[in-house]
Structure 1
Amino acid sequence: MSKQPERIFVKGNEAIARGALAARCKCFFGYPITPQNDIPEFMSSAIIKAGGDFVQAESEVAAANMLLGAGAAGVRAMTSSSSPGMSLKQEAISYMAGSEVPAVVVNMNRGGPGLGDIGPAQGDYYQSTRGGGHGDYRHFTFGPGTVQEAYDLTIRAFDIAFTHRTPVLILGDAILGQMKEPITPWVPDNIDDEAGRDWAITGRTNVRETGREKRLIKSLFLAEGELAGQNRHLQAKYDAWADMAECEHYETEDAELVVCAYGSIGRIAKSAVRSFRKQGKKVGLLRPITLYPFPSADLKKLAQAGKRFLTIEHNLGQMVDDVRLAIRTVADSAFFPIYPGNLPTPDELEAPILACLEGK
């Protein structure tokens, strides 16, 4: 990659849009919903200037199906939305997973269920990491915690989408999307513009000259045993992603208690951990960066080293299930919920951390 010298001060939403353009995203299909509106607003002009196309779709359903069509043609494309809008996109995402169509999808999580509010929450973790539509599927899921990560991981999302022929989800929330931080933009220097050209539906022109075989992209498998074979193939792909799991370790080496939190809550929890460290208390933080694949191996190693765990989430308990699954043969995790509709501060996280540290 080639670093650009300037630093710019941008919102998380804008950082994602800029990261997509750096990754040579050529099509954006969107529909307005708070708190992700800055992404389509920025893209509506910037992607046109970059030689791409922007479509203000008539609905979230339409935007997701446009994304399916673009990905099937081998085009680097993206859509973005927020919680209720993501629910409407799930059928198309299931089709993309089933037919192995690459795409990048952004969800700036807001409070729910239902319309909820326009504030931050992490209640879409299950939907994001389990495959929120019908059938058995997963998609690669990033949970950025800083504006710089939002930029960086968007670029990586496009690479993973085309390398593994899969939808890739970027899960943020209203905090990440709306806060501003300085970032260093960069442009990858190894993008393969021909990626996907050996399978994409691009039109079989000059068949007699090229001899190209007909191509078919589908998620419907009706022949005897055909669907089972496709599901085995997909599951093998998902299993292979385990080696790509990532997380941030902060003061975990000598920690007696490890706090597990992701995204915006991860950075708030990190501030609380810093406060305890200044007091000489051995508290650390493990912040998953990939939510699927989940960094289970890192957690298990910490559990085997005798650590105790506290999971903190801006929901009623979702990621804690993955934490407990990772350490189930060795340890358990306490849990502290932040109810959607509330915005926590580092000070408010100190009481549950202290109680857990003292074994209460």
Structure 2
Amino acid sequence: MSKVLMKGNEAIGEGAIRAGCRHFFGYPITPQSELPHYLAKRMPEVGGVFLQAESETSSINMVYGAAGAGFRTMTSSSSPGISLMQEGISYLVGAELPCVIVNVMRGGPGLGNIAPAQSDYFQSVKGGGHGDYRLIVLAPASVQEIIDLMGLSFGLADQYRTPVMVVGDGILGQMMEPVELDEEVTLPEIPAKPWAAGGLKGRTAPNIINSLYIVPEACEDLNKKLFAKYETITQRETRWEEYRLEDAEIVLTGFGTAARIAKSVVDKARAEGIKAGLIRPITLWPFPSEVYAKAAEQAGQFLCVEMSMGQMVEDVKLAVNGRKPVGFYGRSGGMVPLAKDVFAEVKKLMAGGAQ
């Protein structure tokens, strides 16, 4: 095991390679351009394929082809580019093709700016494309966790035959932190994919990769199959972090960079005698609703911290189900919440009680 200093975007690429990904198709866009730059060098070194497509639309459809052939494959982009991929993502879901999609979020709407944001939460967890579907959505909060979750994302994609999205923000993509890496890379065992369109291989008929169902009953059957799978994922794959939650009277919550800020506020509040705790979702979908419901049995109130105008806060409110008040503090358009301002909000809420 060795410790190296690595930028978040580069860690995404290294984590993917160590997870057995050998096919990347993407298009550079700030603030994730270091990722394709890194993989343009690393993929040939490991016998993989790197292809800079002419657009994000082309990228996601190349992913469709590689995933349909049974390869571990991924793409990455930032907010406007992910918007262009939505139709292809819906096709991947309908065809039950495993792949990984990375979104290093920036300010919006529209072209916005290149500053960090978290305002693609709805797009990620509610389904930005057409049709009834879900994505497994993972949200790392450190460069080390990026490495760890990239391995998990490819494993979950193959296990459940579904696209997995990994979301971060521009801060996480650009920051550098020490990470521990195995000096000798042991690739994971990639499961057999007998459904893939990789030639007859002894079969009498070829495998067909498709998401077109002309007969309504057949399309409904697909949706029922997908949602049965989503229920299994919800039961087995929900992940979160709890911090100083045992006796918390106010529970802060956030994901990614916002959760790191909130965690520092929890420590500041504890130092001043305020019993604060933190819930950090690691899976944004499936959302860890049960841990919020359990915390609501004891805590007096919640405060959701986001780099947006308020998106995850809606899922927190649904989880708490009206039993306790849920406050919100957010900055948008690339602005980042400051710990001192979040702490001021905590003190204001505590002074007012559960109003």
Shorter-chain TM-score tier: over 0.9
Paired residue type of 1:70: A
Paired residue type of 1:229: D
**Equivalent residue for 2:147, pick from 145, 148, 151:** 151
Distance 1:132 1:159 in 2: 23
Distance 1:277 1:283 in 2: 6
Distance 1:292 1:18 in 2: 24
8 Å contact from structure 2 (residues 141, 257) kept in 1: yes
Query: Secondary structure at the residue paired with 1:7?
Result: strand
Matched, 1:223 2:215: yes
**Equivalent residue for 2:189, pick from 176, 181, 192:** 192
1:10-34 per-residue CA deviation (whole Å, 9 max, x = no partner) reads 0111111100000011100010100
Q: CA deviation at 1:260?
A: 1.0
Using the size of structure 1 for normalisation, the TM-score is: 0.94
Q: After TM superposition, which residue ranges in structure 1, 4 or more long, deviate above 3 angstroms? A: 186-190
Matched, 1:16 2:12: yes
Query: Secondary structure at the residue paired with 2:230?
Result: helix
- Superposed, 1:186-335 pairs within 5 Å as 186=182, 191-196=188-193, 198-205=194-201, 210-243=202-235, 244-328=237-321, 330-335=323-328
8 Å contact from structure 2 (residues 64, 97) kept in 1: yes
**Equivalent residue for 1:352, pick from 326, 330, 345:** 345
Paired residue type of 1:119: A
Query: Secondary structure at the residue paired with 1:153?
Result: helix
Distance 2:122 2:216 in 1: 32
8 Å contact from structure 2 (residues 199, 206) kept in 1: no
Q: CA deviation at 1:329?
A: 5.1
Matched, 1:74 2:77: no
8 Å contact from structure 2 (residues 133, 226) kept in 1: yes
Q: CA deviation at 1:358?
A: 1.9
1:243-278 per-residue CA deviation (whole Å, 9 max, x = no partner) reads 211111011111100001110010011111111111
Distance 1:193 1:306 in 2: 43
Matched, 1:129 2:125: yes
Give the match for residue 34 of structure 1.
30
Q: CA deviation at 1:334?
A: 1.2
8 Å contact from structure 2 (residues 304, 329) kept in 1: yes
8 Å contact from structure 1 (residues 162, 195) kept in 2: no
Query: Secondary structure at the residue paired with 1:63?
Result: helix
1:161-199 per-residue CA deviation (whole Å, 9 max, x = no partner) reads 010000000000101000000011248857233432x10
State the aligned residue count.
351
8 Å contact from structure 1 (residues 131, 137) kept in 2: yes
Distance 1:145 1:110 in 2: 16
Structure 2 residue ranges without an equivalent (≥5): none
8 Å contact from structure 1 (residues 23, 188) kept in 2: no
Paired residue type of 1:28: F
Distance 2:27 2:139 in 1: 22
